[in-house]
């Protein structure tokens, strides 16, 4: 029996109904199964998850299969970290068991990271699909005069109105509006950081009750992560990427976005395998629903915890949002504002309220 090359870390809570599909797809991989270990980490499930996992542990074709039972954590990040610590392979793949892999996922992503011609069959430029359910900016025509501005000190609601008006104004001046998808920069930039790639991401098939579609991810550039997370958690990576990070941090609900920011700051190279090799399944119990409910603060915590990655104006916005400053709008769901957006916001406040009053508001966070 070979030592494992790839450790597949599966973080689970009450997803027993998905496990046969997930492990069936993993068993059908075209990568040698005796070079794969499975680390199944269960977050105190109350369904039959552990029993189903143990059946696959007994009958599966892999080099090793371990079942780790944790006391209830409630967040996938710490559960993934526990699995990564137990894993032995030089390559890690973090999976959610409600998703499932196409048959060539492991073989092609491993080749992309290890073989000089691993991407010889990759596609050319592809159309970039917008991120899932990206929230559109609120329509504010006819509301240029926010209430409560003239004649009295602005209250929280009027400051929020100004913030939303600034978002609309920033989008109306030409160029991408806050929330627009950043495309491939400079016509496509080679993998960032070292010459040897450390992370292989893939296109994926998004499945939902409304149907399915192929999502083409962009060629990686760290600037993309400064505004949005377009890369799926299920990307094959060398173990050193995880070791060089602080893991999946529970301080933000967007744990995977924070992890990719840490990897970008470490200069780790990313390569895209331009084939839809992952089935990303939406359903009512997705953890992402809970993450979206905390969208603004989750994004601000990413900025707070990775300050060197973001511009000073964006850091000031994050501090203000976490302190509850009413001017610090959360922006579109899943989008961190750019420095230009924050500057546009301040300019509008100065124009409507005067430099002195606006300066007092923004000085509290160093703007």
- pLDDT tens digits, one per residue of 246-283: 999 989 999 999 999 999 999 999 999 999 999 999 87
Cα 137-335-359 angle, rounded to 5 deg: 80
CATH code that applies to domain 6-122+183-290: 3.90.550.10
Mind listing the pLDDT tens digit for each residue in 84-122? 999 999 999 999 999 999 999 999 999 999 997 655 334
Residue 200 has pLDDT above 60, yes or no: yes
| pTM of the predicted protein model | 0.79
Considering Cα of 282, then 288, then 293, then 295, what sign does the dihedral take? negative
- Residues 119-172 have pLDDT tens digits of 533 443 333 333 333 233 222 222 222 222 222 333 444 444 444 544 444 443
Let me know: does 351 contact 345? Beta carbons within 8 Å: no
Stronger pLDDT, 329 or 296, i.e. the higher one:
296
Q: Please state, in angstroms and rounded to a whole number, the distance separating the CA atoms of residues 321 and 330.
A: 7
- Give the separation between CA 146 and CA 160, rounded to whole angstroms: 9
User: Pairing state of beta strands 91-95 and 236-238?
Assistant: antiparallel
Q: What confidence score (pLDDT) does residue 187 get? A: 28
Q: Do residues 216 and 127 touch, judged by C-beta distance below 8 A?
A: yes
Q: State how beta strands 236-238 and 36-43 pair.
A: unpaired
Helix (H, G, I), strand (E, B) or coil at 326: coil
36-75 per-position pLDDT tens digit:
999 999 999 999 999 999 999 999 999 999 999 999 999 8
359: phi then psi, degrees, rounded to nearest 5? -60, -35
Q: What is the pLDDT of residue 195?
A: 63
**Pairwise pLDDT comparison (152 vs 300), residue with the higher score:** 300
Phi/psi zone of residue 179: left (φ > 0), alpha (ψ -120 to 50 degrees), beta?
left
Contacts of residue 335, defined as CB under 8 A and 6 or more positions apart, other chains included, come to: 134, 135, 178, 179, 227, 228, 299
Residue of 298 and 287 predicted with greater confidence: 298
Please, are residues 198 and 236 in contact by the beta-carbon 8 Å criterion?
no
**pLDDT score for 289:** 58
Specify the pLDDT at position 5.
Answer: 97
Which tokens belong to 301?
A: 């915590």
**Which pLDDT score is estimated for 179?**
34
The answer to whether residue 175 scores a pLDDT higher than 50 is no
For 132, 209, 281, the CA distances from 79, given in Å and listed in that order, are 25, 28, 20
Where do the domains of the chain lie?
A: 6-122+183-290, 156-178+294-363
82: left (phi over 0), alpha (psi -120 to 50) or beta: alpha
59, 63, 69, 74: CA torsion to nearest 10: -110
C-alpha to C-alpha distance for 262 and 302, rounded to whole angstroms: 10
pLDDT range class, residue 173, cuts 50, 70, 90:
very low
Return the pLDDT at 224.
Answer: 95
The average pLDDT across 227-231 equals 94
**Strand partners of residue 7:** 37, 92
Say which range, 13-17, 38-42, 199-203, 292-296, has the weakest mean pLDDT: 292-296
Count CA atoms closer than 13 A to 269's CA, side-chain side: 13
- When pLDDT is averaged across residues 189-215 and rounded to a whole number, the result is 82
């Amino acid at each position: 029996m070979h030592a494992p090359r790839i450790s597949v870390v599966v973080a689970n809570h009450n997803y027993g109904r998905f496990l046969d599909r997930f492990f069936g797809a993993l068993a059908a991989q075209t990568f040698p199964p005796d070079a794969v270990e499975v680390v199944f980490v269960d977050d105190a499930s109350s369904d039959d998850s552990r029993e189903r996992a143990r059946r696959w542990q007994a009958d599966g074709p892999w080099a090793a299969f371990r079942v780790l039972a944790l006391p209830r954590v409630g967040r996938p990040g710490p559960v993934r970290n526990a699995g990564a610590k137990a894993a032995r392979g030089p390559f890690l793949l973090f999976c959610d068991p409600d998703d499932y892999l196409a048959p060539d996922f492991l073989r092609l992503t491993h080749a992309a990271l290890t073989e000089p011609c691993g991407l010889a069959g990759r596609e050319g430029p592809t159309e970039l699909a917008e991120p899932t359910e990206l929230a559109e900016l609120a329509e504010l025509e006819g509301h240029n005069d926010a209430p409560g501005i003239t004649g009295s000190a602005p209250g929280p609601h009027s400051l929020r109105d100004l913030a939303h008006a600034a978002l609309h104004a920033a989008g109306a001046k030409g160029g991408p509006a806050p929330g627009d998808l950043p495309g491939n920069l400079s016509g496509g930039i080679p993998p960032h950081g070292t010459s040897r790639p450390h992370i292989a991401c893939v296109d994926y098939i998004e499945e939902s009750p409304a149907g399915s579609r192929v999502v083409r991810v962009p060629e990686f550039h760290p600037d993309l992560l400064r505004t949005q997370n377009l890369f799926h958690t299920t990307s094959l990576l060398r173990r050193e990427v995880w070791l060089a990070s602080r893991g999946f941090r529970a301080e933000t609900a967007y744990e995977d976005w924070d992890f990719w920011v840490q990897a970008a700051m470490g200069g780790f190279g990313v390569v895209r395998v331009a084939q839809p090799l992952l089935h990303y399944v939406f359903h009512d119990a997705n953890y992402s629903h809970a993450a979206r409910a905390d969208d603004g603060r989750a994004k601000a915590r990413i900025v707070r915890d990775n300050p060197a990655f973001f511009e000073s104006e964006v850091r000031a916005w994050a501090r203000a949002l976490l302190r509850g400053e009413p001017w610090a709008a959360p922006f579109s769901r899943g989008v961190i504002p750019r420095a230009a957006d924050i500057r546009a916001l301040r300019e509008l406040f100065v124009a409507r309220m005067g430099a002195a009053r606006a300066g007092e508001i923004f000085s509290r966070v160093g703007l």
